[in-house]
Amino acid sequence: MLELLFLLLPIAAGYGWYMGRRSVRQNQSNQRKKMSRDYFTGLNFLLSNESDKAVDLFISLLDVDDETIDTHLSLGSLFRKRGEVDRAIRIHQNLIARPSLPDEQRDMAMMELGKDYLAAGFYDRAEEIFVTLVRQDDHSEEAETLLIDIYQVTKEWQKALDIIRKISRKRQQTLKPVSAHFYCQLADEATENSDKIKLLLQALKQDPLCGRALLTLAQIYLLTGELRQCLKQLSALLDADIQLVPDALATARQAYLTLPDEAGYQSYLSRAIEKGAGASVINALAERLEQQGEQQQAETMVLDALYRHPTMKGFQHLMQLHIAQAEDGQAKKSLSMLEHLVEQQIKYRPAFRCNECGFPSHALYWHCPSCKNWGSIKRIRGLDGE
């Protein structure tokens, strides 16, 4: 009998092992079926606009299998893009709260949570997350970019410059024009002219072709009576950004005529026209010629410009010349009425447009309100502009 029991023992052990394996496989199969069923249930909640139930269900699934983390990251991103930022925040916060989450996936979840806070307008919380990510040796460029974006929104220009100084030299080179505008923003906020000048010179170190810095420097030097320095900046503006010269006309006229240097002013306008400054500068030079009694030369210059590049501004100035020479009568009244209509057309049409997104404007913005690019808004060229 004892021998029979010893013979049956291996069979019993084998049967036990088989039943155990079968039970494990059965449990795994049931678990997969439940997980699949729960995911379909969650998707139905989403399609039925029952987002809260879907979020709760997907979060509970995370405790089942770490492989669902990518799914949760995608789901959170989807909620954020749909404007349901509170649900995206819940998902990403639950991911970060998992103690067993690998560092790489935790950083990904933190990045997504920072984007959630940014979309919700919680800039202080988003800043805290991105600062933490940037301090890591293997941080992504996206964290730097988003941090700079936050400082632009909160107008913390010095913090943005501090971040730019810490990034790679290659990226620093691409951001130099933007850095120049940050220095210009700091100059606008400074109260002392000496501090403004130092900051604007720093802007020119970043970008020697920063027309904004040159124009602002010229205006400050005019106020402080440093006329030669003012003219130096205006001359540099001709090579840096010819499209800003129309905005510098008042400064140039006052500086040259204060010296006085009428010939220098006319020479400046002529050089600007040669470089393609546009109708405003042509009209300014024509006005100087008219004041000197050279109406015929002024009219010829305006006509030549209209033949080459027709503009409403040039047409209006030509009509003003003809009105000044016309005799009183019905013809002069009609011409004056037409000139007034053209003036109204020019007044109501936008004078500036963003070269990146096409945003139209009546005023010069250094930072496009639409696409958020720096220095992209320029004067409109063509019939309705320069």
Q: pLDDT, tens digit, for every residue of 132-178?
A: 998 887 767 888 999 999 999 999 999 999 999 988 888 889 999 99
Which CATH number is 175-262's, of 3.40.50.720, 3.40.50.360, 1.10.1240.10, 1.25.40.10?
Answer: 1.25.40.10
pLDDT at 36: 53
Tell me what the mean pLDDT of segment 329-333 comes to.
80
Query: What residue segments make up the domains of the chain, in order of their start?
Result: 175-262, 278-348, 349-386
Q: Does residue 71 or residue 258 have the better pLDDT?
A: 258
In terms of Cβ atoms closer than 10 Å to its own Cβ (0-12, 13-18, 19+), residue 9 is exposed
Give the integer Cα–Cα distance in Å for 138 and 28: 38
Tell me what the mean pLDDT of segment 285-314 comes to.
90
pLDDT at 243: 93
Asked if 280 and 296 touch (Cβ cutoff 8 Å), the reply is no
pLDDT at 5: 44
Tell me the average pLDDT of the chain: 84
Per-residue pLDDT at 310 exceeds 60: yes
Nearest to 193 by CA among 156, 232, 230: 230
Task: For 75-104, give the secondary structure using H, E and C.
Answer: HHHHHHHCCCHHHHHHHHHHHHCCCCCCHH
pLDDT at 329: 80
Question: Could you report the per-residue pLDDT of 178-231, keeping only the tens digit for each?
Answer: 999 999 999 999 999 999 999 999 999 999 999 999 999 999 999 999 999 999
Question: Could you report the per-residue pLDDT of 36-78, keeping only the tens digit for each?
Answer: 565 556 556 555 555 566 666 666 655 534 566 777 788 788 8
pLDDT at 52: 61
Tell me what the mean pLDDT of segment 19-32 comes to.
50
pTM listed for this prediction: 0.80
pLDDT at 284: 94
* Biggest CA pair distance of the chain: 142
pLDDT at 24: 46
The pLDDT confidence band at residue 246, using thresholds 50, 70 and 90, is: very high
Q: How many residues does the chain have?
A: 386
The pLDDT confidence band at residue 7, using thresholds 50, 70 and 90, is: very low
Asked if 292 and 266 touch (Cβ cutoff 8 Å), the reply is no
Question: Could you report the per-residue pLDDT of 121-130, keeping only the tens digit for each?
Answer: 999 999 999 9
pLDDT at 325: 81
pLDDT at 127: 93
Which of 24-38, 106-120, 305-319, 344-358 has the least mean pLDDT?
Answer: 24-38
